[in-house]
Amino acid sequence: MDIKYKVNDTINANEIIEVFNKVGWNKDPNIIVNAFKNSYYVTAREDDKLVGFARAISDDFYYTGIYDVVVLPSFQKKGIGYNMMKIIIDKFKGQYFFLTYTEGNRAFYEKCGFADNNNAMWIQK
């Protein structure tokens, strides 16, 4: 397995939606590319096939939010998600990071260095 990681790689809605669909997430193909264009993101590819991605939004000084850390099921548990997180964390080193995680993924984010914070809130869409 030869995985290549790129920052702000050229992407298209179809390949992004395909990855989201394979993990059971529904995203609007009409807006997802714009969401990526307004983010710092890392892609993971085997040959030309998109197998994962992770996005971050940052003010480049204090705060960075991490979103949509997604890896195709057949490529999970191989370090791909961890490597993409490391690239993002290294890029914004020294800032406060925040994220929300889906059920069952807590241990993964703890492995990446995250801990729970009881002082976080959000407004659900």
Residue 107, number of CB atoms within 10 A of its CB: 9
- Structural domain includes residue 95: yes
- Structural domain includes residue 72: yes
> pLDDT digits over 20-76, tens only?
999 999 999 889 999 999 999 999 999 999 999 999 999 999 999 999 999 999 999
Residue 21, number of CB atoms within 10 A of its CB: 11
- Structural domain includes residue 89: yes
Average pLDDT over residues 114-119: 87
- Structural domain includes residue 105: yes
Categorize the per-residue pLDDT at 123 as very low, low, confident or very high, splitting at 50, 70 and 90. confident
- Structural domain includes residue 117: no
- Structural domain includes residue 106: yes
Q: What are the beta bridge partners of residue 40?
A: 56
Average pLDDT over residues 74-85: 97
Task: Give pLDDT, residue 44.
Answer: 98
Question: Which residue range is the domain that position 66 belongs to?
Answer: 3-111
Residue 97, number of CB atoms within 10 A of its CB: 19
- Structural domain includes residue 118: no
DSSP 38: T
CATH classification at residue 56: 3.40.630.30
- Structural domain includes residue 122: no
**Tally of structural domains, the chain:** 1
Q: How far apart are CA 27 and CA 2, in angstroms?
A: 28
